[in-house]
Amino acid sequence: MKRIFSGVQPSGNPTIGNYLGAFKQFVELQHDADSAIYCVVDLHAITVPQDPAKLRKRSREIAQIYLACGVDPSKASIFIQSHVKEHAELGWLLQCMTYMGEANRMTQYKDKSEGKANVNVGLFTYPVLMAADILLYDATHVPVGDDQKQHIELTRDIAERFNNRFGETFVIPEPQIQEFGARIMALDEPTKKMSKSAENEGSRIALLEDPAVFKKKIMRAVTDTENEIRFDEENKPGVSNLLTLYSLYADESVESLVNRYQGQGYGTLKKDLVEVMTDKMGAIQKRFRELDDQTELDRILKQGADQAREIAEKTVNRVKDAMGFVRI
């Protein structure tokens, strides 16, 4: 049985990186799998400070974006993580199965805590809660961007350790990472990944952003002084990032784009890229506006949480039985 699980944090406005690395895959995979479960991981979002009103608004918005991108609630369950309390419960049980050294090696923790005076414990244990999210549903495949690969490896290690110690309990999940487009880079610093919570707004393009706003960002995107259109991620990260975006949005190979733009300046490439993106993003934005019915959205979220809870309760009982907890 192929079961997909993935989630997105309501920690900012989702970017085109989140779309190309995650949402887009979610839609394709829901047709391909026996079941698919997509979560709005609000418990993860509070590992960094969140404004309560914004968190509430964004949690619903992420669900609405799932739908606008094409996730079909008759094929996939969509729900909010905090609505299924088993995530927190299994998270704790798995914390007691994870070594400090393992958690310490997580590069996302290092990046997000770097230079910060007060980092909360939740940011450190975040990958263990993510392991719980995945293992609760016996997920076989987890579609994510490249930045989450290390967390999936940790999930597999924890699950294998648990199975070895307590007997077969968890399904060992596989990361599902695209070969191309799994790491969209920041526009201002193309050696870093684009992030929805990065400080500089100019570094990212929000999925729901107005074309006039993202046009300026693309036109200002950092490139290099060569003025030669060539795909070379190491030496020309800015131009390579623009070519990646163009290729994914226009569904045209990088090779064909490089040939087509030979001898032309970066300005032309950028201008044409804006056009292609305006078209594709416009369709999602239109759909997002059409779906703005909060009662219907809440119905879908409740249905999704009920479906998720049914599986999650069984898993937690199985885990607690294996570990030796009393059941009455």
- Residues placed in the known binding site for ATP: 9-11, 17-18, 145-147, 184, 193-197
* 3-state secondary structure at position 71: coil
| Burial group, residue 229, by CB count within 10 angstroms (0-12, 13-18, 19+) | buried
Stretch that binds ligand AQP, among 13-21, 85-93, 98-106, 287-295 (CB under 6 A): 13-21
* DSSP label of 125: H
What phi and psi values does residue 4 have, to the nearest 5 degrees? -100, 135
Give the per-residue contact string, 197-216, with ligand AQP (x = CB under 6 A; - = no): x-------------------
What phi and psi values does residue 98 have, to the nearest 5 degrees? -115, 135
- The catalytic residue among 24, 196, 217, 236 is 196
Annotation says 116 is catalytic: no
| Per CB under 6 A, 67 contacts ligand AQP | no
| Per CB under 6 A, 87 contacts ligand AQP | no
Residue nearest to ligand AQP (CB): 21
Pick between residue 244 and residue 315 the one whose CB is nearest to ligand AQP.
Answer: 244
Give the per-residue contact string, 127-146, with ligand AQP (x = CB under 6 A; - = no): -----------------xx-
| Per CB under 6 A, 8 contacts ligand AQP | yes
| Per CB under 6 A, 190 contacts ligand AQP | no
| Per CB under 6 A, 11 contacts ligand AQP | yes
- The catalytic residue among 24, 75, 85, 112 is 112
Pick between residue 146 and residue 272 the one whose CB is nearest to ligand AQP.
Answer: 146
Pick between residue 90 and residue 182 the one whose CB is nearest to ligand AQP.
Answer: 182
Q: Where does residue 181 fall: left (phi above 0), alpha (psi -120 to 50 degrees), or beta otherwise?
A: left
Pick between residue 8 and residue 129 the one whose CB is nearest to ligand AQP.
Answer: 8
CB 45 within 8 A of CB 9: yes
Report d(CA 124, CA 108) in Å as an integer: 9
CB of 163 to ligand AQP, least distance (A): 25
Annotation says 193 is catalytic: yes
Report d(CA 76, CA 38) in Å as an integer: 7
| Per CB under 6 A, 125 contacts ligand AQP | no
Pick between residue 89 and residue 147 the one whose CB is nearest to ligand AQP.
Answer: 147
Report d(CA 35, CA 292) in Å as an integer: 26
In the numeric block, which tokens belong to residue 76? 């996939």
Helices (H) and strands (E) in the chain, counts: 14, 5
What phi and psi values does residue 270 have, to the nearest 5 degrees? -65, -45
Q: In this structure, how many other beta carbons lie within 10 angstroms of the beta carbon of residue 278?
A: 16
Pick between residue 162 and residue 237 the one whose CB is nearest to ligand AQP.
Answer: 237
Report d(CA 237, CA 158) in Å as an integer: 35
- The catalytic residue among 193, 215, 236, 270 is 193
Between CA 34 and CA 57, with CA 45 as vertex, the angle to 5 degrees is 90
Annotation says 112 is catalytic: yes
| Per CB under 6 A, 147 contacts ligand AQP | yes
Report d(CA 223, CA 240) in Å as an integer: 9
Give the one residue of 4, 5, 13, 18 binding ligand AQP; rule: CB under 6 A. Answer: 18
CB 269 within 8 A of CB 238: no
Give the one residue of 30, 155, 195, 244 binding ligand AQP; rule: CB under 6 A. Answer: 195
Residue found by looking up tokens 């990212």 in the block:
204
Interface ranges with ligand AQP (CB under 6 A):
8-9, 11-12, 15, 17-18, 20-22, 144-145, 147-148, 182-184, 193-197
Catalytically annotated residues: 112, 193, 196
